[in-house]
Amino acid sequence: MLDAIAQKQVMNGSVPEILEKPKQDKITQQSKAIRNIFYKGDELSPLELDIERMYISEKLDKHQNYMKRKSFRFKVKWTMSDLNRYQDQANYRMNHGEYFANTKPEFIPFDLD
């Protein structure tokens, strides 16, 4: 993916011709959208966000029951990614900083409406 984007982008300080500027802006916008989808995933609808929040909340409750009772009926794997998603982080996967340089958490804006 990165090779295909690099072949279409103007790089190394080069400037596109003035007539090619709208085409280059369109390519830049499309490549930015593709990169965003690749690293962060598709945007979720409000319904999908609510369903995901309910799922994570139920998973946390089940995990806490397992920690109290040690019953295999409640055993689930609770990961750091789940904890970050439970806290409504946009980058809940917390990618490796060496490759993506984005280790600071980004929280989803909370809308009271």
pTM comes to 0.57
Does residue 10 lie in a domain region? no
> Into how many domains does the chain fold?
1
83 within domain boundaries:
yes
Asked if the model's pLDDT at residue 98 lies above 60, the reply is: no
Classify residue 85: in a domain, yes or no.
yes
Q: How confident is the model at residue 16 (pLDDT cuts 50, 70, 90)?
A: confident
Please check the confidence at residue 58 and state whether its pLDDT lies above 70: yes
| 54 in any annotated domain | yes
Q: Is the pLDDT of residue 69 over 80?
A: yes
Average pLDDT across the chain, whole number? 79
- Check whether 103 has a pLDDT greater than 70: no
Question: If we measure between CA atoms, which residue out of 79, 52, 74 comes closest to residue 63?
Answer: 74
Instruction: Classify residue 69: in a domain, yes or no.
Output: yes
Domain span including residue 50? 45-113
Strand partners, 37: none
Q: What is the mean pLDDT of residues 49-69?
A: 90
In this structure, is residue 93 part of a structural domain? yes
